[in-house]
Structure 1
Amino acid sequence: MAVNEYQQQVKVLSDQLLELQRPIRILDAIKWPSEVEKTFFKDKGRELPRLPENHYQNQELGFDPVQQRDRFLHLRRETRRKLGRSDGLGGILCRTIDQYLLVIDMLANRGSPEFGRYSRALYGSARDHLRGDRKTLRQLGEKLGEIFSMPGAAHLVRPYEKNISATDAVDILQDRLGNYFDPGDIRVILSDGIVSDAAAGGDYIKINQDASFTEFDLQVLEVHEGWVHVGTTLNGRQQPWATWLSVGSPRVTACQEGLAVLMETLTFSSYPGRALKVSDRVVAVDMAEQGADFLDVYHFFTNRGLPPADSYKITQRVFRGGTLSGGSVFSKDLSYLRGFVENVNFIRSAIQSGVPEILPMLFVGKITLDDIPILYQHYLEGTITGPHYIPEMFRDLNGLYVWFGFASGMSVINMGRVQRHFQTLFAKMPKVAPLYEKVIDSAVD
């Protein structure tokens, strides 16, 4: 098949996939009414949340599951027939189609034990082992939870209050993101229809009009929602043939969310409380998977000192779509920690393998790490367009190479012995206020 003919075939099949996935909105299909939270706190958190009777059955999907399944199956057959079973891009398309088939089954089973089974097939389980390691996600989540809950983390909490209104946040973010994106490519807008404080769309970021923010919050939103989620969408939209790279099935969630969390750390935008939230989500998923009900998970976090509103939010994220009695849960929140670890290991491996030039492909669109070698080959051949929006440290890879090169080299050091050496010094230190408070006081004077 000639190159031009092949590219046209890829585009036709890719556009068909875009059209089929358009009505599928996972989070909209499993969201809870805001009244549920109000009633829960009115009952002082002593009773399970009260979802409306037949809530999921009465919540329209926006598509017919049987018809949509048949259409995806037809597209999979057409992809294999036209591109061949061994074609790289065709394989990515077929694996994406398989994901949407699972999504249809998951959403058709909302509120039932089967929902959790399909969710695990899509997003994994907290008891899954990390790729190439014996540790489970739950074990890593617990270890990170210990680190980010240490007294030293509390010492670093800056005196930032949530004193930035939603309206001001819109203006600030629009100005900052205007320095990263081309004029008119991104909008930051107020919204009264989202549960979270902020959410990214194709070329916009919605800000909850009832939320307020700290400076830290805005730093995170800028790189997490803006640079990564919107940036990869816009890069995918610029693809002339592989147009499906502008949308994400669950198979790309870990790479996307992990890359977003990684960018928070590389730009020093994150903070211990934010990192703790990522590890807490793994613990919440595991507890619910093992049979803890909504109240068990909610009170686990309140008893640990998390504010009631935050404890409700992290618990609600896990139980939406599943059963309040536990066992059947929405495990998407594992993606943040799993994806972070996998992205870090991918970057380190690319550097040690002598192929750092593939790293900008992390931003080419909505992808998995396993897709990158295939996409890079087709980039060299002209079917895939390189990413337009790339954070500076991925555009000039020198600093990134050195950073991860040192990190890889230091991994051979016995950190237990190192820590025991320095602990003898730390034990003699007086317990004082954080250094930054003195710096701030001096600046004020």
Structure 2
Amino acid sequence: MPLNPRPPQPLPPFAAGVDRALAEMDGEVDWLLALSPIDNEAMWNAFADSGYREMPELKYIDLETDLDDVRRRLDALPIGSVESPLLRRLLDEKRREMDRQVELVRLRGREGFRDASVALFGGVDAGLLECAREIMRDVRPGAPLKADAGIDEMLEAVEAELDWYRESCPGFHAEVVVDTDLNSMMMVSHGTFYVDGDLRLPHARIQPLVQHEIGTHVVTRHNGSRQPLCQLQVGLADYDPLQEGLGVLAEYLTGYLPGERLRVLAARVVATDMAMQGCGVPEIFDLLHNTHGMPTDDAFDVAVRALRGGGLTKDAVYLGGLRDLLAHLAGGGALEDLYVGKFALSHIDALDELAEHGWLVPPEVLPRFFHQPGFAERLERCRSTRVVDLHHEVPVA
């Protein structure tokens, strides 16, 4: 993806209008928050009190978005008038993906949700399931480390990270929200960094996770905001696998991706497959905890995530995205180019065309871990490493 550092060229008028409208609507449909369960502590207590046999019904935030109105506006977009065939195709892909996101949120907790999720994120292919099972069978957790860090240490690291980027890019920004009822330890949604106020983790995991969330998701959003095509900020269609693959790779390149983290990603694939087969939280929890030896909190978290909304298949993209990213690197693909914005590996040829038209410029900033000692050696190692071997026994000094 050769990128010319010349000034970016504006999109044609019709394309620019559709692009802006899609980006604005993308911010209205926060499907990730809409599908994140609430009252998580009470949910766990009820499940544990039942002897891990009965799961209470998942609860969610109230929906405030008028989904029918969003769908009408999506349908009304003049995609056919977009001047460039390339831009027309990319924008139509995004319009159709957003329509599927609206449908996914509409079907939350209802029949048809699982099929809508597969239509949006795909399912679990046989090769990925076998890879996940191999990891669960052969990868052992890393050396035990004390969970000696909490929310204060995490926030300090996040603010230091944001300050580092602001020194070279004054416009670099991410809102930070602390939530004690978060279904994940941390996540970035629409540029906002959410973190569990009750989190406890080893100090050695702070920087890898900061690089996953800030150094990947926020950095690519920032670089995408500098592009003529707004979709590179909010995400071209099917961008999730590459984003999560980059995020997990960042943990390894930062120096500590422990075996238990890789096992969690593999467990998510196994749990997703089980949810697609109609299994519930108790069955998934039992397999992960009693058969594979996962701690109760991890097994429960993975099982609940797989059943979000009625069976959300997104969790399979973490391991799948990492697998595909390693294949890209093994084939000689550059890593730096993958930070120009949010897109899928399948878009690389399209990005080459965007660059030829002047509609793509180099990333303004690269992740901080690119500047760490030993980065080049770790990256080179990734080009010949299988997914099952991509983990550390102890933190790299």
| TM-score w.r.t. length of structure 1 | 0.76
- Residue 324 of structure 2 corresponds to 342
With over 3 angstroms needed to count, the CA separation of the structure-2 counterparts of 1:200 and 1:335, relative to structure 1, is: same
**Which one has more relative contact order, counting CA pairs under 8 Å at least 6 apart?**
2
- Say whether residues 1:225 and 2:213 are aligned partners: yes
Asked whether the equivalents of residues 201 and 230 of structure 1 are also in contact (C-alpha less than 8 Å), the reply is no
For 2:64 and 2:131, how far apart are their aligned partners in 1? Answer: 38
- Map 1:363-402; keep pairs closer than 5 Å: 363-391=339-367, 399=376
- Residue 159 of structure 2 corresponds to 174
- Residue 258 of structure 1 corresponds to 245
- Residue 15 of structure 1 corresponds to 20
- Residue 37 of structure 1 corresponds to 44
Higher mean C-alpha deviation, range 224-233 or range 246-255: 246-255
- Residue 298 of structure 2 corresponds to 310
Asked whether the equivalents of residues 186 and 204 of structure 1 are also in contact (C-alpha less than 8 Å), the reply is no
- Residue 157 of structure 1 corresponds to 143
With over 3 angstroms needed to count, the CA separation of the structure-2 counterparts of 1:4 and 1:235, relative to structure 1, is: closer
| Letter in structure 1 aligned against 2:358 | G
For 1:246 and 1:95, how far apart are their aligned partners in 2? Answer: 15
Which of 105, 112, 115 is residue 114 of structure 1 equivalent to? 112
Quick one: percent identity of the two aligned structures? Answer: 24
For 1:162 and 1:284, how far apart are their aligned partners in 2? Answer: 26
- Say whether residues 1:291 and 2:278 are aligned partners: yes
- Residue 431 of structure 1 corresponds to none
C-alpha displacement of 1:374 = 1.6
| Letter in structure 2 aligned against 1:145 | M
With over 3 angstroms needed to count, the CA separation of the structure-2 counterparts of 1:184 and 1:204, relative to structure 1, is: farther
Which of 375, 384, 389 is residue 407 of structure 1 equivalent to? 384
C-alpha displacement of 1:177 = 4.6
Asked whether the equivalents of residues 39 and 50 of structure 1 are also in contact (C-alpha less than 8 Å), the reply is no
- Residue 236 of structure 1 corresponds to 224
Runs (5+) with no aligned partner, structure 1? 130-135, 323-328, 411-434, 441-445
For 1:339 and 1:282, how far apart are their aligned partners in 2? Answer: 12
| Letter in structure 2 aligned against 1:157 | A
Asked whether the equivalents of residues 165 and 212 of structure 1 are also in contact (C-alpha less than 8 Å), the reply is yes
For 1:230 and 1:168, how far apart are their aligned partners in 2? Answer: 20
C-alpha displacement of 1:267 = 2.8
Asked whether the equivalents of residues 281 and 300 of structure 2 are also in contact (C-alpha less than 8 Å), the reply is no
Asked whether the equivalents of residues 268 and 302 of structure 2 are also in contact (C-alpha less than 8 Å), the reply is yes
Task: Summarize deviations over 1:123-176 as a string: whole Å, max 9, x none.
Answer: 1112x25xxxxxx21111111222313xxxx5x414x21111211221133224
Asked whether the equivalents of residues 326 and 382 of structure 2 are also in contact (C-alpha less than 8 Å), the reply is no
With over 3 angstroms needed to count, the CA separation of the structure-2 counterparts of 1:308 and 1:192, relative to structure 1, is: same
C-alpha displacement of 1:200 = 2.1
Secondary structure, counterpart of 1:199 in structure 2? strand
Asked whether the equivalents of residues 281 and 314 of structure 1 are also in contact (C-alpha less than 8 Å), the reply is yes
Asked whether the equivalents of residues 208 and 254 of structure 2 are also in contact (C-alpha less than 8 Å), the reply is no
C-alpha displacement of 1:251 = 1.2
Runs (5+) with no aligned partner, structure 2? 1-7, 387-392
- Say whether residues 1:205 and 2:196 are aligned partners: no
| TM-score w.r.t. length of structure 2 | 0.84
With over 3 angstroms needed to count, the CA separation of the structure-2 counterparts of 1:260 and 1:88, relative to structure 1, is: same
Asked whether the equivalents of residues 329 and 383 of structure 2 are also in contact (C-alpha less than 8 Å), the reply is no
With over 3 angstroms needed to count, the CA separation of the structure-2 counterparts of 1:10 and 1:400, relative to structure 1, is: farther
Asked whether the equivalents of residues 221 and 234 of structure 2 are also in contact (C-alpha less than 8 Å), the reply is yes
With over 3 angstroms needed to count, the CA separation of the structure-2 counterparts of 1:199 and 1:5, relative to structure 1, is: closer
For 1:392 and 1:334, how far apart are their aligned partners in 2? Answer: 27
Task: Summarize deviations over 1:224-259 as a string: whole Å, max 9, x none.
Answer: 0011011111111122x2112111366111111011
Secondary structure, counterpart of 2:238 in structure 1? helix
Which of 223, 233, 249 is residue 246 of structure 1 equivalent to? 233
C-alpha displacement of 1:332 = 0.4
For 2:237 and 2:137, how far apart are their aligned partners in 1? Answer: 29
Asked whether the equivalents of residues 236 and 344 of structure 2 are also in contact (C-alpha less than 8 Å), the reply is no
| Letter in structure 2 aligned against 1:18 | A
How many residue pairs get matched? 375
- Residue 432 of structure 1 corresponds to none
C-alpha displacement of 1:261 = 1.1
Secondary structure, counterpart of 1:269 in structure 2? coil
With over 3 angstroms needed to count, the CA separation of the structure-2 counterparts of 1:181 and 1:44, relative to structure 1, is: farther
Secondary structure, counterpart of 1:207 in structure 2? strand
C-alpha displacement of 1:201 = 4.3
Asked whether the equivalents of residues 219 and 367 of structure 2 are also in contact (C-alpha less than 8 Å), the reply is no
Asked whether the equivalents of residues 157 and 207 of structure 2 are also in contact (C-alpha less than 8 Å), the reply is no
Asked whether the equivalents of residues 285 and 303 of structure 2 are also in contact (C-alpha less than 8 Å), the reply is yes
C-alpha displacement of 1:368 = 0.7
C-alpha displacement of 1:5 = 7.0
Secondary structure, counterpart of 1:190 in structure 2? strand
| Letter in structure 2 aligned against 1:389 | V
Which of 294, 307, 323 is residue 319 of structure 1 equivalent to? 307
C-alpha displacement of 1:93 = 1.3
